[in-house]
């Protein structure tokens, strides 16, 4: 038996501790198995009441010190019983496995998409300084855009189809849509776009690519500021345009006497096309970019 107060080993049938004079009680005794000895009853240390459960092997090691003849202080006993129980290695294996799975998903699924979008954005910003109209670059109200890029470049800048149901249309591979109006608000100005599914499987309009854009500022509600490659912007004359882009491809000119506008046409390899609409007194007022 052990004294609850000072840890002194007590003689059998001893009623009072010879060291601290604490009365000895037979209650709350537990069984402890010592190495090479029979099982006997001992009094548990007082601090055991509020501590975490540990397995029998760990408990036996902790109370083994009681087999020594040196009295133990309460602080020493408290340090022993406060040692945390060992955790199963299976828990750590499970945690490490979860971390590895999350890392693989992030690397092979999330990171490639971020990388692709980042490349597109950098390419748009870098190529806009090109003097060539064939780059397909343009700005509307200071925002960068490029032909043959996902419609998301418009939707991310708050452009929406006037008819929301168009977003749900499903296109076959290489299928092109009709011309649709998009706008930033119900009462705001509109531009025209055409969409093409460039993938080898069916795809929705919202996930397909813009291959044609028409911006017309002759209407009062469409007073957009726009810039084309070579710093060709609203109000430029045909002389300023040809100085940047060179001679017109086919000298194609169509005259609209009612609006007093003239359309000038540029084309390359019959795949990249740009129509520029110039008003007699106002200069460049509209453009139509379309890359087949």
Q: Read off the pLDDT of residues 234-266 as tens digits, 9 standing for 90 and up.
A: 999 999 999 999 988 876 666 766 767 888 999
| pLDDT for residue 31 is more than 50 | no
What pLDDT does 196 receive?
A: 92
* Chain segment 193-212, per-residue pLDDT in tens: 999 998 889 988 888 999 99
Greatest CA separation for the chain: 125
Q: Which residue has the higher pLDDT, 209 or 219?
A: 209
How open is the CA angle 35-41-46, to the nearest 5 degrees? Answer: 100
What pLDDT does 121 receive?
A: 46
What is the pLDDT confidence band of residue 165, given thresholds at 50, 70 and 90? confident
CB 259 within 8 Å of CB 266: no
| pLDDT for residue 72 is more than 60 | no
- Whole-model pTM: value is 0.55
CB 17 within 8 Å of CB 3: yes
């Amino acid at each position: 038996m052990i004294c609850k107060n000072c840890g002194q080993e007590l003689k059998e049938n001893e009623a009072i501790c010879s060291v601290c004079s604490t009365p000895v009680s037979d209650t709350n005794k537990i069984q402890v198995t010592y190495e090479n000895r029979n099982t006997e009853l001992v009094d548990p240390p007082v601090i055991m009441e509020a501590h975490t459960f540990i397995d029998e092997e760990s408990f036996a090691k902790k109370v083994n010190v009681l087999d020594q003849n040196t009295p133990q202080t309460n602080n020493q006993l408290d340090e022993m019983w406060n040692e945390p129980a060992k955790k199963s290695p299976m828990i750590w294996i499970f945690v490490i496995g979860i971390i590895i799975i999350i890392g693989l998903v992030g690397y092979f699924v999330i990171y490639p998409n971020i990388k692709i979008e980042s490349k597109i954005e950098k390419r748009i910003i870098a190529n806009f300084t090109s003097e060539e109209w064939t780059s397909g670059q343009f700005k509307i109200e200071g925002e960068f855009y490029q032909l043959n890029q996902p419609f998301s470049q418009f939707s991310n800048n708050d452009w929406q189809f006037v008819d929301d149901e168009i977003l749900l249309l499903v296109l076959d591979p290489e299928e092109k849509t009709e011309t649709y109006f998009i706008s930033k608000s119900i009462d705001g100005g509109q531009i025209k776009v055409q969409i093409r599914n460039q993938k080898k499987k069916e795809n929705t309009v919202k996930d397909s690519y813009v291959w044609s854009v028409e911006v017309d500022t002759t209407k009062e509600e469409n007073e957009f500021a726009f810039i084309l490659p070579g710093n060709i912007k609203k109000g430029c004359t045909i002389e300023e345009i040809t100085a940047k882009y060179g001679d017109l491809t086919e000298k194609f000119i169509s005259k609209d006497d009612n609006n007093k506008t003239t359309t000038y046409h540029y084309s390359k390899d019959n795949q990249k096309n740009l129509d520029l609409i110039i008003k007699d007194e106002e200069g460049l007022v509209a453009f139509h970019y379309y890359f087949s």
